Chains A and B, each alone.
Chain A
């Protein structure tokens, strides 16, 4: 124990299991994080990676039998949010947790301002201290600037410096011992260029004797950043080794648990089909997606997938007019649309309809009735003299749609929020289809929907396609893509990295392509 104070692990987990009902999310997982090192933690969706992080954060209690030692002290009880922090753990999530309206210095010392409220603050001294602290990590930014004015990457750096400062000040009783900074997918939404800068800040943190637990989806990034990597698959640790000498293919194979099949250059130029009625998108560029071109035919179900931050989900939002593109155009039914000047109204006029992912904020108004929600986008068709709604005909149409999409109960006058999640989603889809669009765009169409409703919705979407509508579905759910799609585009860092058709559309292959970097 005496020896351990200088070189022992800062975080040690043994026999960590966690089950939710009959699902075993973690099965005797273990982890040993040493000081001065960046430790990668990887695994695909459902591998138990995020459960492990949530146990550390005190969000879940582990099943009995686990041993968790933080900073040389065994943690016996539940960790709790503040508890883990006092124990020398500090979390930075994808949502950075900054207060945009406050200055850099205020964000940096926010804990101190809260913990030790003084009657007054000596700003000049605080700013000098903030500048000095940031500079010691190689971050040069005026501490008086408002956080919200800074690029996200710089915000992330400030947050990491704040974390390091907390780790230093956090556990006085452990003396010179370092703490563990947990970066939980914190880089997923950052632009590529900024990640390098961030990496140097992270290096500066571990140089102080702390450790960084780097939780990430991106195998290449983990290899670049981490000294050591733990791979989780199906709740178990399947590998724990130095990253030195490891290739990306090896790591991907560990993550997905299979040999990578040799690729025969599957990337097909997207403009393969070109019938006049197809939708052709060229040079689509947004916040994440970068110069994507593709076409989709009537009656086809096209899937879009990739890792978080790859831009696969941005495509539907842009084409539905919900976000603005930086470049790109779309041709549909012989008409050309500039996507940098696109809007929801233009999308509707073009014949494109979007089912957004945030059902309660973007999809429907929960307080209004089913009928009102479904009919919003087609009101003009039931418009009589002086804007009067033709209630009777509208009602018939709503009843038809409710029957068509099997919404239960099929009562048009119920407030939408009294329906179950699955039935609400059916209403969102019925609403999108009410205008008989040429192209139906879906962003995670089965999110928050039970299994039964999920298969009904997928079945319905296939019917929609059979009836001649082009369907574009973006999702991270590989089994959904397998069940639903005729063709799948896999994006990586905003660009097309694979196009799968026919037999190649299976869950394993999709996951493989998602994690591989064949470009």
Chain B
């Protein structure tokens, strides 16, 4: 079977047969086991997995050539890696329900509400920052539980539940903020997110990186992650194998709520203020990064490293275009286009096996 798939057929087939296995990153033994006969397949596999990082590198080179004075600077890279850590964190959270086969469209609403909790209570009411952080995180968990409640008890599609929840939360944010921006968020929070740097990059980048490692580890190396994968790509199989499917789905929504709230805290820290609508912009880039990430590193699966690469690729593209003088419209066009193309590419590489994972 395997050999038949290799010879004389196009890249599509080769990508389709790609074992997006756990082992690829985890286990060298596998490459040996694959044997010498599949050399060509390994090359096309490698290209498929590495397409996004390669394009990312190309984009960096192109912008550096076009704007040698402004683009390849510590300042620009610091901005790209630091400020967009919020996007990476919210996307990694989103990845958990996606891996379980469910959408969570409320992450941007949770993020915005969480940042406004910080702005209103800390910036406005001068409540101790750590208490505000705890409240924001608790609200994130609460949102996840509420989403999970409707999904599990009423059996509603999470797409709809979280779509409503996201809009509901934006409304609540407007309510508690009285439609105002709250500045004066604790300098301590600003310090540990944006101001303090390591190797010229704000600390929050390293938090995002650490979170990526945790998500990767749980997804690929724990029994929990393996079960989550089956809930997403073979729900009835998982159920019949004794996996508590509904519990896993609720848990995934709770994790995405918690991480969206964490992203909101960092968002407030990074900007030193909370704006009642700014957070809602994160929804589309988060989905674009998650889906584009699902086509790379381990094609066909939502995966942590692919996501972080995709997120920074998208941000690099937008930043570079803005340095070239593009207007603000370019951001929405870029993210929207990337989402659709990423999904189209994922579909193409899977051939006829539609809607299995992504």
Contacts and interface: CB of A to CB of B under 8 A. Distances in A.
A367 interface: yes
B176 interface: no
* Interface hub of B30, B226, B244, B356 (most chain A Cβ within 10 A): B226
B237 A391 contact: no
Contacts of A365: 230, 233-234, 237, 356
28 contacts: A344-B240, A344-B242, A362-B237, A363-B237, A364-B237, A366-B234, A367-B234, A367-B350, A367-B357, A369-B21, A372-B21, A375-B226, A376-B238, A377-B242, A382-B223, A387-B222, A387-B223, A391-B22, A395-B27, A409-B2, A413-B19, A413-B21, A413-B30, A413-B33, A414-B1, A414-B17, A415-B17, A420-B1
Contacts of B179: none
A379 B231 CA distance: 14
* Interface hub of B223, B224, B230 (most chain A Cβ within 10 A): B223
A389 B236 contact: no
Given A361-B236, A389-B226, A415-B18, 9 more contacts: A348-B242, A367-B300, A367-B353, A368-B234, A371-B22, A382-B223, A395-B29, A413-B34, A418-B1
Interface string B195-230: 000000000000000000000001001111011011
A366 B240 contact: no
B226 A372 contact: yes
A418 B350 CA distance: 12
B47 to A, nearest CB: 18
Contacts of A348: 241-242
B230 A376 contact: yes
Interface of B: 1-2, 5, 17-23, 26-27, 29-30, 33-34, 218, 221-224, 226-227, 229-230, 233-234, 236-244, 300, 350, 353, 356-357
Contacts of A364: 234, 237
A411 B33 contact: yes
Contacts of B224: 387
A162 to B, nearest CB: 30
Contact of B222 (A320, A322, A377, A388): A388
Contacts of B19: 369, 413-415
Contacts of B357: 367
Contact of B221 (A376, A389, A409, A420): A389
Contact of A376 (B27, B34, B222, B237): B237
Contacts of A431: 241
Nearest to A359: B237
A151 to B, nearest CB: 22
A413 B30 CA distance: 8
Given A368-B229, A414-B2, A420-B1, A388 B221 contact: yes
A411 B353 contact: no
A229 to B, nearest CB: 41
B234 A321 contact: no
B241 A377 contact: yes
Contacts of A363: 237
B302 to A, nearest CB: 12
B240 A362 contact: yes
A409 B5 CA distance: 13
B161 to A, nearest CB: 20
B339 to A, nearest CB: 21
A356 interface: yes
Interface string A403-423: 000000101011101111000
B353 A417 contact: yes
A371 B233 contact: no
Contacts of A372: 21-22, 226, 229-230
Given A372-B229, A377-B242, A411 B2 contact: yes
A319 B227 CA distance: 23
Interface string A333-363: 0000000000111011000001010000111
B249 to A, nearest CB: 16
Nearest to B21: A413
B102 to A, nearest CB: 16
Given A387-B224, A391-B26, A418 B244 contact: no
A376 B241 contact: yes
A383 interface: yes
Given A348-B242, A364-B234, A379 B17 contact: no
A380 interface: yes
Contacts of A391: 22-23, 26-27, 221
Contacts of A368: 229-230, 233-234
A365 B242 CA distance: 15
A320 B240 contact: yes
A106 B284 CA distance: 40
B45 to A, nearest CB: 11
Interface string A55-87: 000000000000000000000000000000000
Nearest to B242: A345
Contacts of A344: 239-242
Contacts of A361: 236-237
A367 B233 contact: yes
Given A388-B222, A389-B222, A413 B240 contact: no
A386 interface: yes
A369 B19 CA distance: 7
B218 to A, nearest CB: 8
A321 to B, nearest CB: 7
Contact of B5 (A345, A373, A389, A418): A418
B63 to A, nearest CB: 36
A366 B222 CA distance: 21
A379 B221 CA distance: 11
A379 B223 contact: yes
A379 B242 CA distance: 11
A121 B154 CA distance: 33
B242 A347 contact: yes
B179 to A, nearest CB: 42
Nearest to A380: B223
B350 to A, nearest CB: 8
Contacts of A366: 234, 353, 356
A365 to B, nearest CB: 3
A347 to B, nearest CB: 7
A413 B2 CA distance: 11
A348 B244 CA distance: 13
A235 B86 CA distance: 70
Interface in A137-176: none
Given A368-B233, A371-B21, A415-B19, A322 B240 contact: yes
A343 B245 CA distance: 12
Contact of B240 (A354, A415, A417): A354
A347 B22 CA distance: 28
Nearest to B357: A367
* Interface hub of A391, A413, A418 (most chain B Cβ within 10 A): A413
B324 to A, nearest CB: 40
* Interface hub of B222, B240, B243, B350 (most chain A Cβ within 10 A): B240
A348 B350 CA distance: 33
**Which 8 pairs from chain A and chain B are nearest by CB?**
A365-B234, A345-B242, A387-B222, A379-B223, A413-B19, A367-B356, A413-B21, A377-B241
